[in-house]
Amino acid sequence: MAVRGDPPSTASAGDTVQLWRRDGTADPQRVGTGELRASVGTVATIATDETIARQIDPTAEYRLLTPPADPYADREFAAMLRRADETMQLVEISGDSPLVGQTIGTLEVTVIAVRSPEGTVTTIPTRDRPIEPGDGLFAIGRPDAFRKLDTRSGTQTAATGFADDQAAAVSFEQQPTSGQPPEE
């Protein structure tokens, strides 16, 4: 079945892909999984079962994602961070934090995702995204950078790992919690 949507640049014929319908609503919907057969420009040919094929709208645009080859890639990533000089933490922003109104790019840590007060998770936010009250910033950095951040802002950080903390268990390729497929 042919669908409109760019597969990831690393995808090749035979790869498993997830199909996400982007119909202009806030929450893209996962349609199902198939096998990428070929792609030219913004059209991809997907082999899938009949149930999924019936759900595909030929006029809609789709986002195609390749899930990680290893279903435990998130745990491996967290373990690598633990062995390195860096750690992963969740930074909760209170309403009276001095960070409110600043941009993510001003922080001394790398923000890999932001959970809004409504629960929407944005992966790989832009550096110019303003920090808002109630945001939860999933960040990677050195412990000393997090201590400075705590002191400077009055925030609370919590050490986390994708495998250890349900609030931080955001598998970006397998199950985007925001309804937004992750950016490639």
Residue 184 lies in a domain: no
User: Number of folded domains in the chain?
Assistant: 2
Q: Is the pLDDT score of 114 beyond 80?
A: yes
Per-residue confidence band for 166, with pLDDT thresholds at 50, 70 and 90: very low
Region 113-138: what's the mean pLDDT? 92
Residue 32 lies in a domain: yes
Q: Is the pLDDT score of 23 beyond 50?
A: yes
Same structural domain, 122 and 163: yes
Same structural domain, 56 and 119: no
- Complete DSSP assignment for 126-172: -TTPBP-TT-EEEEEE-HHHHHHHHHHH--EEEE--TTT-GGG---T
Structural tokens at position 108: 């001394």
Amino acid at 116: S
Residue with tokens 């790398």, as numbered in its chain: 110
Same structural domain, 152 and 77: yes
Same structural domain, 43 and 106: no
Same structural domain, 10 and 42: yes
Same structural domain, 55 and 14: yes
- Its domain, for residue 58, covers 2-65
Per-residue confidence band for 163, with pLDDT thresholds at 50, 70 and 90: very low
Same structural domain, 153 and 98: yes
Answer yes or no: are the C-beta atoms of 152 and 91 closer than 8 Å.
no
Q: Which of 22, 49, 65 is the last residue in one of the domains?
A: 65
- pLDDT single digits (tens) 57-89: 888 888 888 876 666 666 776 677 666 777 788
The pTM for the full model equals 0.48
The CA-atom distances, in angstroms, between 112 and each of 51, 106, 165 are 35, 14, 16
CA 134 to chain centre: 19
